[in-house]
Structure 1
Amino acid sequence: MKVFEGRCSETPPRPCSGGFMKVISTAEVPAVERFAFWREVTSQVWAPYDLRCEPHLESRFQARMDISEFGPVQASLMTSTPYSAERTPRLIRKADPGLFRLVCTVRGHGVMAQDGRQAEFGPGDLMLADTSRPYRAELSPDVPGGQVLVLCLPRSLLPFSHRDLRHLAGVRLRGDQGMGALSSQFLLQLAQHMHELGPSDTARLATLTLDVFTAALATALDAEDTVPPHARRRVLMAQIFGFIRRNLADPQLTPDAIAAAHHISLRYLHKLFHQEGHTVAGWVRERRLERCRRDLADPRLADRPINAIAARWGFGSAAHFSQVFRGTYGVSPGQFRRQCAQTTGECAHT
């Protein structure tokens, strides 16, 4: 990106679990230049836009963008002072990268308009836009720092006709129902953990991210049957895995509860995990053991009783926890904690 050459605002690529993420920020740009600089950033990363910001906000404008690649899908997590962005016919003639955008609102709300359709959006909602046709999007100024995750994909790679895609522009997908909810939850989790992902993680997530993108578009077209079953299954499994991780501390996290939360039968839940080479209870237990192991290795938690750590992550019986911990790691929880203390925390990273 030649526009960033010599600019102190672009931080060096940031390590993320063995990989790198491009981080672009206005933090070190003089205040009077920040909004103009951000106009250049969005032009280089996405496409040229006419950006506007209310004068009292522009004077203290701040923005940051974390960028990762998931195969053909570019993911950009943007946090910024509210502003509006417009793709005008003149700017489209100037540069048309032929991108389709799927925007997931992480924080804040606003409005988007394209092809005569206008929709308001809020946290968790998905918005669809075609950069090859005029549109306008605006983050509401009543939230000081809005945040959105923007996925961009060349239109040529989408399994939909140009006619179908025209029906998607300016459409809001609610993030609290149906496939929209599955897609939204995956993208919100991606936004939260994107900085932790290394090259192997992004490679593994590339297909899933593309599946989520496609599923969201198919939902907006009312054509979910056009999404291959394996793609719908991967999206559903990503949602289930995220739900389990968020609820590990709940002792009532049972297969029945997991199935009910995702509106599927218990039998189908077990089938999904069997196809992944796991059992539901086994996968939950493994994640809980990982959290307990991490806490036992943490010197800041050295005074916390082992049974309290076990209970924190959903183990109702200290004896049962000790038994499964030893069976998994070959030592008792107490022995593991002592080993970690002797090696000054090295176990926390093994």
Structure 2
Amino acid sequence: MDRFDWFTEVVSRSLMPSAFSPLGDGGFHAEGASLDLGAVQVSRFVYSPLRSRRTARLIRQGDPEQYQLGLVTAGTAWFAQDGGEAALRPRDMALWDTSRPYESGSGMDGRDVEVLVLQIPKARMPLPARHVDGLLARRLPGGAGLEAILAGFLVSLAGDGPAVGAGGLGALGDMAVELAAACLAQRAGGDGGPASPEVRAHLLLARIDAFIDRRLGDPDLTPRLVADHHHVSLRTLYALFEERQEGVAATIRRRRLERCRADLASPALRHRSVQDVAARWGFASATAFSRAFRAAYGVAPSEHRRRALRLDGGWTG
């Protein structure tokens, strides 16, 4: 496989299926690397000038259902999608939607381009789609303000992220999403002005969700702690959750139970007692945990473990 075919395969697999055409008569060269940050991923690519496009057929072939934010760190590029077109120079960014066709080009001046790409699952984007859609293929200059902070953070992630332990990568992913959403929210406010109250509420709710996930193992995690950490009243916190089917306390309990259920079904954790698993995810009382687990799943925790490990082939007694 030559370098161009390798590049096409790597980008199509790690980002999304796309069609590429090299520019110029010189030999094509490229390099790439990716860093997993939980549900989020950041990738770095350096490559010779080329054109790329994503058609409806390629979308049907594979769609990761992501928003992808590209930061140009060297060279030049342009991106067109959904009626928008952005010409990008170093420190500029642009956002695109993997579920829509696009066209792009890079290195029109004959030089290589370096791009960092932040991949955000649509389910993790805290902003309403109608706000994000208006920002597709729009130039986001990264020379000042929030955009400069985001650009610097992405550069640091690509350079220093691989040295971070696995336990810290998920938190870095949450931070990247929060920063990206804050930049987009500001742009959605018009002319870089303040975001609307609705957008600010979505951003706050996203921060609260990430905080809850990070603190699930803390038995002191309560709605009061969540509210105090985010400098809002309990009344405001409860109001934020009114659009959902469950409140704050129910959300914490459900997510803890989901983590316990997964751990109890894991052969790698079968040496840990049910009580240890419960305590790991913030249940201080074994009795309360057993009662909540049975109410949620209709079976006792120990029975769930026996069934799961028997099906997996890891249970012998």
* Smaller-chain TM-score bracket: 0.5 to 0.7
Aligned pairs for 1:128-167 (under 5 A) are: 128-142=95-109, 144-167=111-134
> Once superposed, which parts of structure 1, at least 4 consecutive aligned residues long, lie more than 4 Å away?
none
CA deviation profile, 1:268-300 (whole Å, cap 9, x unmatched) = xxxxxxxxxxxxxxxxxxxxxxxxxxxxxxxxx
Over the matched positions of the two proteins, sequence identity in percent amounts to 30
- The answer to whether structure 1 residue 54 and structure 2 residue 23 are counterparts is yes
> CA separation in 2, counterparts of 1:81 and 1:202?
30
Cα offset for 1:52?
Answer: 0.9
Q: 1:329 aligns to what?
A: none
Aligned pairs for 1:31-70 (under 5 A) are: 33-57=2-26, 60-70=27-37
SS at match of 2:11: helix
* Conservation of the 8 A alpha-carbon contact between 2:77 and 2:113: no
Amino acid at match of 2:16: A
Aligned pairs for 1:1-350 (under 5 A) are: 33-57=2-26, 60-142=27-109, 144-222=111-189, 224=195, 226=200, 227-228=203-204
Cα offset for 1:219?
Answer: 2.6
SS at match of 2:80: strand
SS at match of 2:95: strand
The TM-score with structure 1 as length reference comes to 0.52
> CA separation in 1, counterparts of 2:46 and 2:83?
28
> CA separation in 1, counterparts of 2:181 and 2:61?
28
Amino acid at match of 1:128: L
Cα offset for 1:230?
Answer: 9.9
Q: 2:302 aligns to what?
A: none
Amino acid at match of 2:181: T
> CA separation in 2, counterparts of 1:228 and 1:181?
21
Cα offset for 1:132?
Answer: 0.6
CA deviation profile, 1:29-60 (whole Å, cap 9, x unmatched) = 5xxx2212221111111111011112514xx2
The TM-score with structure 2 as length reference comes to 0.58
Cα offset for 1:135?
Answer: 1.0
* Conservation of the 8 A alpha-carbon contact between 1:125 and 1:174: yes
SS at match of 1:96: coil
* Conservation of the 8 A alpha-carbon contact between 2:35 and 2:158: no
Structure 2 alignment gaps of length 5 or more: 208-317
> CA separation in 1, counterparts of 2:205 and 2:64?
30
Cα offset for 1:143?
Answer: 5.2
SS at match of 1:150: strand
* Conservation of the 8 A alpha-carbon contact between 2:16 and 2:98: yes
Amino acid at match of 1:207: D
The alpha-carbon distance between structure 1 residues 55 and 192, as it changes in their structure 2 partners (threshold 3 A), is same
> CA separation in 2, counterparts of 1:125 and 1:137?
15
CA deviation profile, 1:70-102 (whole Å, cap 9, x unmatched) = 121111011111222211122112222211101
CA deviation profile, 1:317-338 (whole Å, cap 9, x unmatched) = xxxxxxxxxxxxxxxxxxxxxx
Structure 1 alignment gaps of length 5 or more: 1-28, 232-350
Cα offset for 1:170?
Answer: 0.7
Quote the RMSD (CA, aligned, Å).
2.3
Amino acid at match of 1:122: R
CA deviation profile, 1:79-126 (whole Å, cap 9, x unmatched) = 111222211122112222211101111111111111111111111111
> CA separation in 2, counterparts of 1:112 and 1:124?
15
> CA separation in 2, counterparts of 1:157 and 1:205?
14
CA deviation profile, 1:221-264 (whole Å, cap 9, x unmatched) = 22645233996xxxxxxxxxxxxxxxxxxxxxxxxxxxxxxxxx
